Amino acid sequence: MRFTLFTLFLISSLPVVAQEPQKPFYYPTGNEAVISGTITLNGTLPKLRVIDMTADPPCQDANHNPKPDWVITNQGRLANAFIYVRGETLNAYQFELPDSEVIMNQRACYFEPHVFGLRVGQTLRIINGDPTQHNVHPTPKLNPEWNQTQAAYAPPMVKTFRRAEVMIPIKCNQHPWMKAYVGVMNHPYFAVSDRLGKFEIRGLPAGTYKLAVWHELFGEQEIEVTVVPGENRNADFTFDAQKVLEEKKYLFEREP
Ligand SMILES: [Cu+2]
């Protein structure tokens, strides 16, 4: 009797774990759609400020006339825009995680890449290839914040993110100019625009979606797109050089 009561007590005191119904995996049919396009900047931006790296000689030695040129443009085309898809069709599924890791390097006192995406649970390997100490400090809203120093040529840090979040800023507390942005996604439909402003999202199931584009200097835009099976869809975006986000104006010699 005593034993039974105790057992009952044990069972009743176990935490109740809410079981989320497992979503089915999406298996490609071979008839998915592609969305591709170009990100353009209308108008010209003022000159970027030179970054003062004198506080850390290895950074200064590695850079002549350092500028945050990774944020910017090539003949009116905008690199480092993060383009991603949102929609109910995607929420109904889970998507296989790639085997690959994503690597973020610290080289010549910049984060490389400056903007990137990865999947919830995918490994992010962070390398310090510089002869100086860095510090990696993401400031998420939905994921846990962390802040970790990485000495010169120290072993890589290996991290994952638990929740989808666009975008998480990453800073280096040693070098205030060092910034990176990561989009953490629960599906594979995202891309970063290249130096020609081009992007491509492949393998998208047919459906109606929001196609969003985020850029560090210009904020976010969104359009609705409907793709049919096998469609090759073009979607271009244009930002206005005059509409730099208030908090980014310090990057320029004079206000845009
Ligand atoms: Cu640093």
Let me know if the fold of 27-50+70-95+197-256 is the same as that of 96-186: yes
Task: Quote the ligand 1 centre to 171 CA distance (angstroms).
Answer: 8
Which distant-in-sequence residues (6+ apart) come within 8 Å of 5 by Cβ?
Answer: none
Share of the chain above pLDDT 70, in %: 92
Other Cβ atoms less than 10 A from the Cβ of 52: the count is 10
Average pLDDT over residues 101-122: 97
| Chain centroid, CA 86 distance in Å | 15
Ligand 1 centre distance from Cα of residue 19 (Å): 42
CATH tag, 96-186: 2.60.40.420
The predicted pLDDT at position 72 comes to 73
Nearest to 166 by CA among 232, 84, 100, 97: 84
- CA–CA separation, 22 and 168 (whole Å): 27
At residue 82, the pLDDT reads 98
pLDDT of 105 reads: 97
Distance 206 CA to ligand 1 centre (A): 43
Residue-wise pLDDT for 65-86, tens only, equals 888 777 777 779 999 999 999 9
Report d(CA 144, CA 155) in Å as an integer. Answer: 22
Q: In 3-state terms, what secondary structure has residue 252? A: strand
Domain residue spans in the chain?
A: 27-50+70-95+197-256, 96-186
Q: Which of 44-53, 67-76, 194-203, 227-236 has the lowest mean pLDDT?
A: 67-76
Q: Over the stretch 145-192, which tens digit does the pLDDT of each residue have?
A: 999 999 998 999 999 999 999 999 999 999 999 999 999 999 999 999
| Span 27-50+70-95+197-256 CATH architecture | Sandwich (2.60)
Rounded distance from Cα 57 to ligand 1 centre (Å) = 12
Report the Cα 241 to chain-centroid distance in Å: 22
